[in-house]
């Protein structure tokens, strides 16, 4: 089996192995799942070694007819836009699996669902056939719904249903748009490369772009379609929040870049002011909402809405710097937010509360935890030397080239993030200790080890950002919106 098919279907094979385990061997589910996610990460590094990041276009292409009478093909390929997201996904699935080592109930079902989710994610980032992409896109919905609905908190059913309804309705509109592309395109194909040879008229582009945008905007999520996200994060187990924030949100942004902007460039150009306005609104609304939260996880969830707004802003600005920053921000946000959600989960496991007001003075009794919480918070607010700084700076600088007002408004979101994160640190780590406050133990070496890869990559991306921007640079020029209209 080739590299791309392996990275897509190896996790699915792992899920089938886990589901076939007899109950007497259910305790072996974690080491097996860890082995499958670890080997998938190894395959992802094999893809990195096989791809030439200086070359534009698709590489390692796998293509064969699947349903030829409908124009559907099995078409996988990687380029320097999808490559960083494949690596990020493989890493975060391994991290989330390692962070779930203490799970005792329904182990094999939990890890099997996680591996099925990984297959859906990998397929979405590598599929170049629209119908195949849609199948992988929908495959992600089912295991995430079950992971929240079965393994979540007290209001898990409400959160899971809300997640399902929002994402399913958006996906249904996208399916109609996919069908419209097939029937209205002269190519009569679902293949991206074939469709690019026969551009659609502006009138058709407008219609189908909105359908695709509906599916992608819900997943990102774009303001005001973000209300499902905080509830899903609050109820989901911390490792599942890692996958939701670190990977699933990026699927929407990737889809918008890969298919929305690429297939419908004229419509994307027309809708650019709307997208840019929604991006800025999301940055500010998410920041103000995070500022008012007492629940630590809910605060991080709203901060995700704000930080993903920078990704949408970079895509809508359309300059090379802004798009490069958008890709960088996807990677940076995935690393940083994953660390924050894991730290929130570690604290909840020890205290059974996420209320910031219930803590105080934790820095004295939990020095390792305090140091890591400070590190990830500083990365999130954009401290120079950490990954959040070059990512957001690139987006703002690229947006400034064409839309100074939007860039200035978005910059206010950085000040908001500094305010709510520093306030949280002051209350939780150095604030007055409330009466009957919990006295949790510091995080264990194993928990620190889970966070270590994230720490290293955040530092590396902050100190040597060219290592990360170089991965995607070769694929960005074809995506630049309206370069001739600047």
pLDDT exceeds 80 at position 484:
no
220 and 300, same domain (yes or no)? no
Cis peptide before 241 (omega within 30 of 0): no
Instruction: State the pLDDT at residue 476.
Output: 54
d(CA 472, CA 82): 8
Give domain status of residue 266, yes or no. no
Both 254 and 294 in one domain: the answer is: no
CA distance 262 to 15: 34
- pLDDT given for residue 475 in this prediction: 54
In a domain, 292, yes or no: yes
pLDDT of residue 255: 93
pLDDT of residue 187: 83
Domain count, the chain: 2
Q: Do 238 and 288 sit in the same domain of this protein?
A: no
Condensed to tens digits (0 to 9), the pLDDT of residues 261-294 reads 888 988 988 898 999 999 999 999 999 999 999 9
Contact of 482 with 326, CB cutoff 8 Å: no
Same domain, 243 and 296: no
Domain finish residue from 260, 288, 317: 260
Is 337 within the bounds of a domain?
yes
Q: Give percent above pLDDT 90 in the chain.
A: 66
Residues 283 and 372 grouped into a single domain: yes
**Does 390 fall in a domain?**
yes
Q: Is pLDDT above 90 for 186? A: no
Q: Is residue 342 situated within a structural domain?
A: yes
pLDDT in tens, 286-322: 999 999 999 999 999 999 999 999 999 999 988 888 8
Q: pLDDT tier at 472 (50, 70, 90 boundaries)?
A: low
Question: What are the tokens at 272?
Answer: 């650019």
Q: Are both 137 and 245 inside the same structural domain? A: yes
Q: What is the pLDDT of residues 315-366, one digit of tens each?
A: 998 888 888 899 999 999 999 999 999 999 999 988 888 888 888 888 888 9
Which of 260, 293, 312 is the endpoint of a domain? 260
- Sign of torsion over alpha carbons 292, 297, 298, 304: positive
Instruction: Tell me which of 260, 284, 314 is where a domain ends.
Output: 260
Work out the mean pLDDT of the chain and round it to a whole number: 90
Judge if 130 and 1 occupy the same domain: yes
Q: Which two tokens stand for residue 71?
A: 């124009």
Per residue, the 3-state secondary structure of the chain, as one string, reads: CCHHHHHHHHHHHHHHHHHCCCHHHHHHHHHHHHHHHHHHHHHHHHHHHHCCCCCCCCEEEEEEEEEHHHCEEEEEEECCCHHHHHHHHHHHHHHHHHHCCCCCCCHHHHHHHHHHHHHHHHHHHHECEHHHHHHHHHHHHHHHHHHHHHHCCCCHHHHHHHHHHHHHHHHHHHHHHHHHHHHHCCCCCCEHHHHHCCCCCHHHHHHHHHHHHHHHHHHCCCCCCCCHHHHHHHHCCHHHHHHHHHHHHHHHHHHHHHHHHHHCHHHHHHCHHHHHHHHHHHHHHHHHHHHCCCEHHHHHHHHHHHHHHHHHHHHHHCCHHHHHHHHHHHHHHHHHHHHHHHHHHHHHHHHCCCEHHHCCCHHHHCHHHHHHHHHHHHHHCCCCCCCHHHHHHHHHHHHHCCCHHHHHHHHHHHHHHHHHHHHHHHHHHHCCCCCCCCCCCCCCHHHHHHHHHHHHHHHHHHHCCHHHHHHHHCCCHHHCCCHHHC
Give the tens place of pLDDT for each residue, 387-445.
999 999 999 998 998 889 999 999 998 999 999 999 999 999 998 888 777 778 889 99
Mean per-residue pLDDT, 461-467? 88
Question: Does the residue 465 lie in any domain?
Answer: yes
Query: Does 442 reside within a domain?
Result: yes
Cβ 117 vs Cβ 33: under 8 Å: no
Q: 427 and 343 in one domain? A: yes
- Whether residue 234 is found in the same domain as residue 278: no
- pTM for this entry: 0.93
State which residues form the domain around 4. 1-260
In a domain, 308, yes or no: yes
Same structural domain for residues 146 and 199?
yes
pLDDT of residue 470: 61
**Shared domain check, 282 and 256:** no
Task: For residue 444, count other CB atoms closer than 10 A to its CB.
Answer: 11
Is residue 191 domain-shared with residue 102, that is, in the same domain?
A: yes
């Amino acid at each position: 089996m080739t590299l791309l098919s392996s990275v897509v279907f190896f996790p699915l094979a792992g899920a089938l192995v886990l589901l076939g385990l007899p109950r007497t061997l259910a305790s072996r589910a974690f080491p097996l799942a860890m082995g499958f996610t670890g080997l998938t990460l190894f395959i992802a590094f094999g893809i990195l070694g096989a791809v030439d990041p200086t070359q534009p276009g698709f590489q390692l292409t796998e293509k064969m007819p699947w349903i030829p009478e409908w124009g559907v093909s099995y078409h996988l390929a990687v380029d320097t836009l999808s490559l960083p997201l494949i690596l990020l996904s493989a890493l975060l699935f391994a991290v989330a699996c390692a962070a779930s080592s203490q799970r005792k109930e329904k182990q094999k079902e939990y890890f099997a669902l996680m591996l099925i989710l990984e297959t859906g994610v990998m397929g979405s980032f590598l599929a170049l056939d629209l119908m195949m992409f849609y199948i992988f896109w929908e495959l992600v919905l089912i295991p995430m719904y079950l992971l929240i609905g079965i393994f979540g908190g007290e209001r898990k059913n409400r959160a899971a249903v809300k997640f399902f309804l929002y994402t399913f309705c958006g996906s249904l509109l996208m399916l109609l748009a996919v069908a419209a592309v097939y029937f209205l395109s002269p190519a009569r194909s679902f293949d991206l490369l074939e469709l690019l040879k026969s551009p659609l008229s502006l009138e058709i582009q407008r219609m189908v772009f909105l359908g695709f945008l509906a599916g992608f905007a819900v997943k990102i999520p774009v303001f005001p379609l973000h209300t499902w996200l905080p509830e899903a994060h609050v109820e989901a187990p911390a490792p599942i929040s890692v996958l939701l924030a670190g990977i699933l949100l990026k699927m929407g942004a990737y889809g918008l870049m890969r298919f929305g902007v690429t297939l419908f460039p004229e419509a994307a150009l027309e809708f650019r002011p709307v997208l840019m306005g929604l991006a800025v609104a999301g940055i500010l609304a998410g920041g103000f909402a995070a500022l008012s939260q007492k629940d630590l996880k809910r605060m991080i969830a709203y901060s995700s809405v704000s930080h993903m707004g920078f990704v949408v802003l970079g895509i809508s600005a359309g300059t090379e710097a802004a798009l490069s920053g958008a890709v960088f921000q996807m990677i940076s946000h995935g690393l940083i937010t994953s660390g924050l959600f894991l730290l929130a989960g570690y604290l909840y496991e020890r205290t059974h509360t996420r209320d910031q007001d219930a803590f105080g003075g934790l820095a004295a009794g939990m020095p390792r935890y305090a140091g890591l919480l400070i590190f990830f918070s500083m990365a999130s607010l954009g401290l120079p030397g950490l990954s959040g700084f070059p990512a957001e700076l690139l987006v703002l600088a690229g947006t400034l080239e064409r839309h100074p007002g939007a860039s200035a408004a978005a910059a206010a979101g950085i000040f908001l993030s500094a305010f709510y994160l520093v306030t949280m640190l002051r209350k939780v780590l150095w604030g007055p200790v409330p009466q009957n406050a919990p006295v949790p133990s510091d995080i264990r070496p194993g928990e620190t080890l889970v966070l270590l890869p994230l720490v290293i990559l955040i530092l590396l991306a902050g100190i040597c950002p060219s290592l990360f921007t170089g991965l995607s640079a070769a694929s960005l020029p074809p995506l630049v919106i309206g370069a001739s209209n600047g």
